[in-house]
Amino acid sequence: MNMEIDKTTYEDLSLYNHDEENSIFHRLNFSRTRGGKDWLFQYFNNPFSDLKHITDTQKIISLILQNIDQWPLTISNGTVMVMERFYESAMDEIPDSSNFLNAITYKIFHTPDYSLLRYTLGHFADFLRGISKLIGLFDIDECPILLRAFLHRAKTLLNHEVIYSLLQKKAGTEFSATQTIYYGSYIRGRFRHPAQELIDIYGRLDAWYSMAVATKKLGLALPVFVDTEQQFIQASSLYHILLPMPVAYSIRMDQQSNFLFLTGANMAGKSTFIKAIGAAVFLAHLGMGVPAKEMRLSLFDGVLSNINVVDNLVKGESYFFNEVQRIRDTLLKINDKRKWLVLIDELFKGTNVQDAMKCSSTVIKGLIKIKSSLFILSTHLYEIGEELKQYPNIRFSYFETMIKDDQLYFSYQLKEGISNDRLGYLILKREKVVEMLEKL
């Protein structure tokens, strides 16, 4: 089974974005082949919601990390592309018999095809040696069943005397005319489907390799999942993976305090904090490392966000209307007693303050009835916090802002309580807008 996450949440959390600088997928993509990138994208689109698949993936990543310096770098995207194009190219028929006369005749009268064949064999040999090396590295007792199944299949596909002979050739070997026909005839005539299957298997392995490299290079930590019916998140030194100089947070949420009411001035760090938690929970459910010193959590059935709502001019729908629709859709999904992580940033920005306060209060009082999920909601409407203090499962936190000599200083540290910062006029003044208006 997969954890449920919709297109809006993918976009809100920047999990995949064509703008690579703002995309977590591209940040974590260290795959060496196009197939590896495609499989990594598949993994990103199908996060797990069951413990077995998550822990199996974690074991695979850990095993690759132990042997990462031994990974066969001879298999590159160029190698795989040469192999694929070889089967797509039209060629004159290669003789079945590789005797000297047939080899010389083919070389002389079919020179372009012979040259392509000879060139391609080197790439096939590199690829086959790489696959053989991976089998030797990981086909061990500690190997997770999922990885072992692919390795055993690859081993079966390599089990032919012609293929075994080819992969035994040293890198850079110059193939004679008879060898070129001998190996070329088999690879072209009988090895097409095995080769395509091996390329697909390597793509899967390459995606796991990418996850392992990301874990090592970015200093990620494999999270610990606790098999419990009560949802919770506990993390220390958690940060947003896209920030070049991130500030780390610590957080704990559980069923007794399943609603985090978050306040603070604009630019204080609320949105980044919310996105950091959402991204970390998502990555954890892929089975890969998370940007934190350590993280423990329960399994979630889904993640839903309400962060970057936009209006729809074509349909004539206002910003506020789309906010309401998003909340409505969220309620329809999470009212199923499954475990959800719900992230809401600056609820009801599209209406006046009084209306927003009434709407926000109504929504929050409804959401806190859902005990099976965790909620993080940020708002600039700190006034509604007072009436919510009667609910024991709501925790109040804020990001502080300090003002000195009309300058703003953000610590980006999460503190207990409710912020009542009002900095709009100060920012207008600091940016000389007030001065400009006075001179009009």
What's phi and psi for 261, nearest 5 deg?
-95, 110
pTM for this structure? 0.91
Based on the fold, state whether residues 153 and 230 are members of the same structural domain.
Answer: no
Query: For residue 132, is it within any domain?
Result: yes
Based on the fold, state whether residues 230 and 323 are members of the same structural domain.
Answer: yes
What's the confidence (pLDDT) of residue 439? 73
Do 292 and 249 form a contact (C-beta atoms < 8 A)?
no
User: Residue 399: beta bridge partners?
Assistant: 264, 414
Total structural domains in the chain? 2
What is the separation of C-alpha 350 from the centre of its chain, rounded to a whole number of angstroms?
31
Find the domain containing 245 and state its range: 224-438
Query: For residue 7, is it within any domain?
Result: no
pLDDT at 315 over 50: no
Place of tokens 């990418």: 210
- If one counts every other C-beta atom within 10 angstroms of the C-beta of residue 249, the result is 22
Based on the fold, state whether residues 213 and 234 are members of the same structural domain.
Answer: no
Give the pLDDT confidence of 352-390 residue by residue, as tens digits. Answer: 788 888 988 999 999 999 999 999 999 888 889 889 999
Q: Give me the CATH number covering residue 209.
A: 1.10.1420
pLDDT at 312 over 60: no
pLDDT at 424 over 70: no
Residue 24: partners with Cβ closer than 8 Å, 6 or more residues away: 13, 14, 15, 16, 241, 242, 279, 283
Query: What is the radius of gyration, based on Cα positions, of the chain?
Result: 28
User: Quick one: pLDDT band at residue 405, thresholds 50, 70, 90?
Assistant: low
Mutual angle of helices 34-44 and 192-217, in 10-degree steps: 70
Report d(CA 292, CA 284) in Å as an integer: 11
Report d(CA 209, CA 161) in Å as an integer: 29
Based on the fold, state whether residues 140 and 259 are members of the same structural domain.
Answer: no
pLDDT at 320 over 60: yes
Span 274-298, mean pLDDT? 97
Based on the fold, state whether residues 207 and 82 are members of the same structural domain.
Answer: yes
Name the more confident of 415 and 217. Answer: 217
Give the pLDDT confidence of 25-50 residue by residue, as tens digits. Answer: 999 999 999 999 999 999 999 999 99
Give the pLDDT confidence of 85-100 residue by residue, as tens digits. Answer: 999 999 999 998 889 9
Mean pLDDT, the chain, integer? 89
pLDDT at 423 over 60: no
Burial annotation 181-203 (CB, 10 A radius, 16+ → b, else e): bbbbbbbbeebeebbeebbebbb
Place of tokens 């919601």: 49
β 340-345/374-378 pair status: parallel
Query: For residue 127, is it within any domain?
Result: yes
Report d(CA 100, CA 180) in Å as an integer: 11
Report d(CA 80, CA 84) in Å as an integer: 6
Domain stop point among 202, 217, 232:
217
pLDDT at 186 over 50: yes
- If one counts every other C-beta atom within 10 angstroms of the C-beta of residue 362, the result is 11
Based on the fold, state whether residues 125 and 237 are members of the same structural domain.
Answer: no
What's the confidence (pLDDT) of residue 325? 87
DSSP state of 431: T
- If one counts every other C-beta atom within 10 angstroms of the C-beta of residue 164, the result is 12
Based on the fold, state whether residues 190 and 262 are members of the same structural domain.
Answer: no
Query: For residue 211, is it within any domain?
Result: yes
pLDDT at 419 over 90: no
Query: For residue 414, is it within any domain?
Result: yes
User: Quick one: pLDDT band at residue 52, thresholds 50, 70, 90?
Assistant: very high
Report d(CA 223, CA 216) in Å as an integer: 14
Query: For residue 9, is it within any domain?
Result: no
Based on the fold, state whether residues 172 and 268 are members of the same structural domain.
Answer: no
Q: Give me the CATH number covering residue 335.
A: 3.40.50.300
User: Quick one: pLDDT band at residue 161, thresholds 50, 70, 90?
Assistant: very high
Domain stop point among 217, 248, 273:
217
User: Residue 407: beta bridge partners?
Assistant: 404
Place of tokens 């091996």: 198
Based on the fold, state whether residues 140 and 197 are members of the same structural domain.
Answer: yes
Residue 332: partners with Cβ closer than 8 Å, 6 or more residues away: none
Domain stop point among 217, 248, 270:
217
DSSP 263-318: EE-TTSSHHHHHHHHHHHHHHHHHTS-BSSSEEEE---SEEEEE-S---BTTTTB-
- If one counts every other C-beta atom within 10 angstroms of the C-beta of residue 314, the result is 6
Give ∠ CA 413-297-210 in degrees, rounded to 5: 90
Based on the fold, state whether residues 199 and 232 are members of the same structural domain.
Answer: no
Do 173 and 122 form a contact (C-beta atoms < 8 A)?
yes
Span 201-206, mean pLDDT? 98
Based on the fold, state whether residues 73 and 212 are members of the same structural domain.
Answer: yes
Query: For residue 394, is it within any domain?
Result: yes
User: Quick one: pLDDT band at residue 431, thresholds 50, 70, 90?
Assistant: low
Give the pLDDT confidence of 220-256 residue by residue, as tens digits. Answer: 999 999 999 899 999 999 999 999 888 898 999 999 9
CA nearest 295: which of 341, 243, 253, 262? Answer: 253
Query: For residue 54, is it within any domain?
Result: yes
Span 397-419, mean pLDDT? 75
What's the confidence (pLDDT) of residue 316? 39
User: Quick one: pLDDT band at residue 268, thresholds 50, 70, 90?
Assistant: low
What's the confidence (pLDDT) of residue 311? 44
Based on the fold, state whether residues 211 and 239 are members of the same structural domain.
Answer: no
